[in-house]
Chains A and B, each alone.
Chain A
Amino acid sequence: MIDGFNFAYLDEATKRMIRRTILKAICIPGYQCPFGGREMPLAYGWGTGGIQVTASIIGMNDTLKVIDQGADDTTNAISIKNFFKKVCKIKTTEVTENATIIQTRHRIPEKKLSEHQILVYQVPQPEPLRRLEPKEQETRKLHAYEEYALMHVKLYEEISHYGSVIKTYAYPVRTNRRYITDPSPTPKFDNPKMDFMEALQLFGAGRERRIYAIPPYTSVKSLDFEDHPFEIQTWDERCDICGSNNSYLDEIIVNDKGEKKFICSDTNYCEKNIKT
């Protein structure tokens, strides 16, 4: 730990306040609980919500994994992991199954998570209706009264104009058949993993000061129409490194001619595949 700062940076009173908010969030799956978010030494929009959630739940015996875009090695993942190493001297790992807490930006690990794990999402905009309705006072009513027609109008529009729903990430879901929830900007490829996930899913939005949660074994359905059912992305290619044909692939440009290759976005999953 570093001089002048508490374990995990936040003072204990703040952590308690955040944990109380988390408990409330778990009790009302998908509901965005306001909380007294604090300034963090990392910039807003760079994961302050997720960091506050992680800082409030992390203990001496936890093992932390941080990923960004699925990878352990991206700069922001490293930076957040370093922050926690600095302020709480906990163990960190890249191995998905060894982690007790996984903080993520934009992906859910390919490997199925277990009851002993908590997945902490960094959320830029917790309000799935925000683009349709800019006013917070109004969106809170829309949720409270379950007035969700507008969201389906959006899906209707996309199908009418493009033949299918074109939302590829942050694809809205209905949690526990009640609240429409933003899954954070994870690709829709990951949405099915959220449904009845064994691990607890916590979502922290620092700038917007909201925390929401999806408890283990909770129904999470992607919005759709019965004649235009929800579908995930697929690739014709395989991962160029491990050969996987069932993981989310990132496209990389390998030479000046613009030739492309595809590789797993989940780096730990990819490494495992090579070893076995």
Chain B
Amino acid sequence: MIIKDKILEVKNLTHYYGEQVGCEDISFDLYQGEILGIVGESGSGKSTLLKCLSGQISPSQGIINFCIDQNQPLQDLCKISEQKKRALMRKEWGIVQQNPRDGLRLRVSAGGNIAERIINEEIKNYSNIRHKALDWMDKTEMEKSRIDDFPLNFSGGMQQRLQISKILSSNPKLVYMDEPTGGLDVSVQAKLLDTITIIVRDLNVSMIIVSHDLAVVKFLTDKLLVMKSGMVVESGLTDRVLDDPQHSYTQLLTSSILQV
């Protein structure tokens, strides 16, 4: 893999809920096109970390530097205005929610859902917006004929595909996925993972995926952070971490998957 621009740089990120630790002293870098996995049991701080990174909560301490413009130095997300942060969320980032219902407008058609992020860029021409929306449905292997249907009536897998179309339609630099295949049947999961891999590699978009499912992580990610009690206990290339775990907790995690 060719090393490209660094798009995210996290240093000593810490978040407390009152006096309780959410996540503590986390540092890592992410480059363009790279896919990072974060694993750990529930309560290990994965979701807190994801929320900090994606601007949903402000961390208590630490720096999150993000590449807003290739020609500019990275900027600390904790210091930019709310306006800019919201603009980034609409365009440069996307958050694929575990429950697609949280990431979709259920009373807006599939096409309208995708259109929302396209409209930020292009608001003049209806047909262009519609073509782009159809195009994205095609890429995520959805039936184009369902463009005017409401996601309320879609299956879980379809809803997740729609959510992914919606997020990717603005050509984001960075996509966060929170348990993207959680709650789906195994066969549906596999197909969805295939789709995600193909598109993401094709677009060269960077991703951070939170999951407790090591199979998902192994399949999708390049690098891995293993979290426990709010801290990163092990990190490195995914294959290395999973094949040759160093920390006892990682060993426990990998052994538990082998038993399945």
Contacts and interface: CB of A to CB of B under 8 A. Distances in A.
Interface of A: 141, 144-145, 147, 149-150, 152-153, 155-157, 159-161, 225-228
Interface in B101-137: 105, 108-109, 111-112, 115-117, 119-120, 123-127, 129-130
Interface stretch (B47-55, B83-91, B229-237): B83-91
Given A145-B86, A145-B87, A156 B124 contact: no
A153 B116 contact: yes
Given A144-B83, A147-B86, A225 B124 contact: yes
Contacts of A161: 109, 148
A157 B90 contact: no
B112 A156 contact: yes
Nearest to B86: A145
B209 to A, nearest CB: 27
A227 B126 contact: yes
Chain B interface extent, by class? 20 to 34
26 contacts: A144-B83, A145-B82, A145-B83, A145-B86, A145-B87, A147-B86, A147-B90, A149-B90, A149-B116, A149-B117, A149-B119, A152-B115, A152-B119, A153-B112, A153-B119, A156-B129, A157-B108, A157-B109, A157-B112, A161-B109, A225-B123, A225-B124, A225-B125, A225-B126, A226-B124, A227-B125
A156 B86 contact: no
B86 A141 contact: yes
A156 B126 contact: yes
A160 B112 CA distance: 9
A152 to B, nearest CB: 5
Interface of B: 82-83, 86-87, 90, 105, 108-109, 111-112, 115-117, 119-120, 123-127, 129-130, 147-148
Nearest to B147: A160
A123 B104 CA distance: 32
Name the prevailing secondary structure of the B interface residues.
helix
B127 A227 contact: yes
B54 to A, nearest CB: 18
Contacts of A152: 115, 119, 123
The 6 closest A-B pairs by CB, nearest first: A225-B126, A149-B119, A145-B83, A152-B119, A157-B112, A226-B124
B249 to A, nearest CB: 41
Contact of A160 (B82, B111, B120, B123): B111
Contacts of B82: 141, 145
B83 A160 contact: no
A159 B129 CA distance: 12
Contact of B115 (A147, A153, A227): A153
- Interface centre among B90, B109, B126, by most chain A C-beta atoms within 10 angstroms, is B126
A222 to B, nearest CB: 14
B42 to A, nearest CB: 30
B148 A160 contact: yes
A246 B54 CA distance: 55
A149 B126 contact: no
Contacts of A227: 125-127
B116 A160 contact: no
B125 to A, nearest CB: 5
- Interface centre among A144, A152, A155, A228, by most chain B C-beta atoms within 10 angstroms, is A152
Nearest to B127: A227
Nearest to A142: B86
- Interface centre among B83, B109, B123, B147, by most chain A C-beta atoms within 10 angstroms, is B123
Contacts of B117: 149
Given A144-B83, A145-B86, A156 B125 contact: no
A156 B127 CA distance: 10
A161 B82 CA distance: 35
Given A147-B90, A153-B112, A160 B125 contact: no
B93 to A, nearest CB: 15
Contacts of B111: 156, 160
Contacts of A155: 126
A265 B83 CA distance: 44
B124 to A, nearest CB: 5
Contacts of B124: 225-226
Contacts of A145: 82-83, 86-87
Nearest to B148: A160
Contacts of B105: 153
B111 to A, nearest CB: 6
Contacts of B120: 149
Nearest to A158: B112
A131 to B, nearest CB: 11
A161 B130 CA distance: 12
B108 to A, nearest CB: 6
